[in-house]
Amino acid sequence: MPPDLLIVRTLIVQFFVLRDGESLYLIDTGFIGGKRALHAALLVRGWDALPIRGILLTHGHLDHVRNAPALAARHGAWIAGPERDLEHYEGRACYSGLGRVAGVAEWVGRRLLRQPAFRPDRLLNDGDEIPVWDGLRVVALPGHTHGHCGYYSARHRLLFSGDLFATFGLGPQIAPAYLNQDNAEARRSIHRALELPLEGVLPCHANQAAPALQLEYLRALATP
Ligand SMILES: [Zn+2]
Angle, CA 170 vertex, CA 106 and CA 62 arms, to 5°: 15
pLDDT tens sequence across 112-143: 888 889 999 999 999 999 999 999 999 999 99
Spacing, Cα 97 to ligand 1 middle (Å)? 17
Q: How confident is the model at residue 168 (pLDDT cuts 50, 70, 90)?
A: confident
Q: Which domains does the chain have, with CATH numbers?
A: 5-222 (3.60.15.10)
Query: Which H or E run contains 7?
Result: strand 5-9
Spacing, Cα 163 to ligand 1 middle (Å)? 5
Q: Which amino acid is at 134?
A: D
Spacing, Cα 63 to ligand 1 middle (Å)? 7
Report yes or no: 158 and 201 within 8 Å, Cβ to Cβ: yes
Spacing, Cα 118 to ligand 1 middle (Å)? 17
Spacing, Cα 21 to ligand 1 middle (Å)? 30
Spacing, Cα 150 to ligand 1 middle (Å)? 12
